[in-house]
Amino acid sequence: MHILVSNDDGVMAPGIVALARAMVPLGKVTVVAPSDNQSAAGHRKTMHKPLRVNRVKFPVEGVTAYSTSGSPSDSVALALLGFIAEPIDLVVSGINRGPNQGQDLTYSGTVSAAFEAVIWRKPAVAFSLCDHSEDAEYDAAAEIARQVVALKLYENLPPLTLLNVNVPALPLDEIRGFKITRQGLRQYNDELVERLDPSGRPYYWIGGGAPTGDVTEEGTDLWATDQGYVSITPIDLDMTSYAVIKDLEARGIAELKIAL
Ligand code: MN
């Protein structure tokens, strides 16, 4: 098995090193990831400037690694569209520093790397650790990633569907097990911060506190990790609301003539 590893925290982030190391017993491992931290890059495709790729010395024996000037999804596209000659069987992304739950998925470069993989019909799993801190410890999450891949949970997923895995920040022996979950409800605590540049012109940061969310609703990703479980959420890139289709059809919208 040939496993492609990417992320959004950058090719030298401790989480991707831990993930690549965990994949080594399972197959051949190649890393293609952004050169710098691109957290919250979303599913951005670079179209108006060239992409540069550099071979990098990676701290895991036997792993070939490349840094790119592109986004996380650019990195996966580069690899799958032929920069990596040897066919790839599975794409894993992470381990992200910080959770990717609820509406985070629309911002997440980690999950977008997996979105890109399923667009090119490769199975994909995104891994995130529920710890934002600089000195986050990835060993337990890496062992969870190894187990998820060894269990082949990514096999037989429908088209455009990936697995989004969030691991609680606990020692391995304190993690209570796996829960299959749905997306929960995030609460963002963003604040607009205005400052003045040396010329006196205002500039802005989107600042504020870390996101919180509803951890009380049983069965969600936010609930599972709060309870000490590994959260595994199947994510479908088909964002259609089938419930609203039914509702609009029931209101006869499709039969209405266009008003002239
Ligand atoms: Mn990140």
List Cβ neighbours of 232 (8 Å cut-off, separation of 6 or more). Answer: 148, 153, 163, 164, 165, 178, 179, 180, 181
What is the distance in A from the centroid of ligand 1 to the CA of 114?
13
Contact yes or no for 237/117 (Cβ under 8 A): no
What is the distance in A from the centroid of ligand 1 to the CA of 97?
5
Rg (CA), the chain: 20
What does the pLDDT read at residue 90?
98
What is the distance in A from the centroid of ligand 1 to the CA of 259?
48
List Cβ neighbours of 134 (8 Å cut-off, separation of 6 or more). Answer: none
What is the distance in A from the centroid of ligand 1 to the CA of 103?
15
Name the DSSP letter for residue 255: G
For residue 134, pLDDT beyond 90: yes
Residue 236 in domain? yes
Residue 37 in domain? yes
- Helix (H) or strand (E) run with residue 18 in it: helix 14-23
Contact yes or no for 236/158 (Cβ under 8 A): yes
Contact yes or no for 13/7 (Cβ under 8 A): yes
Residue 82 in domain? yes
Residue 221 in domain? yes
Indicate the average pLDDT of the chain: 97
Cα of first residue to Cα of last residue in the chain, in angstroms, is 60
What does the pLDDT read at residue 254?
77
Model confidence pLDDT, tens digit, residues 45-90 = 999 999 999 999 999 999 999 999 999 999 999 999 999 999 999 9
Q: Look up the CATH number of the domain holding residue 89.
A: 3.40.1210.10
Least confident of 100-104, 117-121, 130-134, 255-259: 255-259
Residue 102 in domain? yes
What does the pLDDT read at residue 252?
87
Structure-derived torsion over alpha carbons of residues 34, 76, 45, 58, reported in degrees to the nearest 10: 10
C-alpha 106: how far from chain center: 10
Residue 43 in domain? yes
Mean pLDDT of 24-39: 98
Model confidence pLDDT, tens digit, residues 138-163 = 999 999 999 999 999 999 999 999 99
Contact yes or no for 116/51 (Cβ under 8 A): no
Contact yes or no for 45/71 (Cβ under 8 A): yes
Q: Which residues pair with 192 in a beta bridge?
A: 206
Model confidence pLDDT, tens digit, residues 215-257 = 999 999 999 999 999 999 999 999 999 999 999 999 988 788 8
Interhelix angle 14-23/139-150, nearest 10 degrees: 40
Mean pLDDT of 83-103: 98
Per the structure, the complete domain to which residue 173 belongs is given by 2-185+214-255
Number of domains in the chain: 1
What is the distance in A from the centroid of ligand 1 to the CA of 250?
42
Residue 143 in domain? yes
What does the pLDDT read at residue 256?
83
What is the distance in A from the centroid of ligand 1 to the CA of 95?
8
What is the distance in A from the centroid of ligand 1 to the CA of 11?
11
For residue 259, pLDDT beyond 90: no
What is the distance in A from the centroid of ligand 1 to the CA of 99?
9
What does the pLDDT read at residue 237?
97
Residue 28 in domain? yes
What is the distance in A from the centroid of ligand 1 to the CA of 256?
46
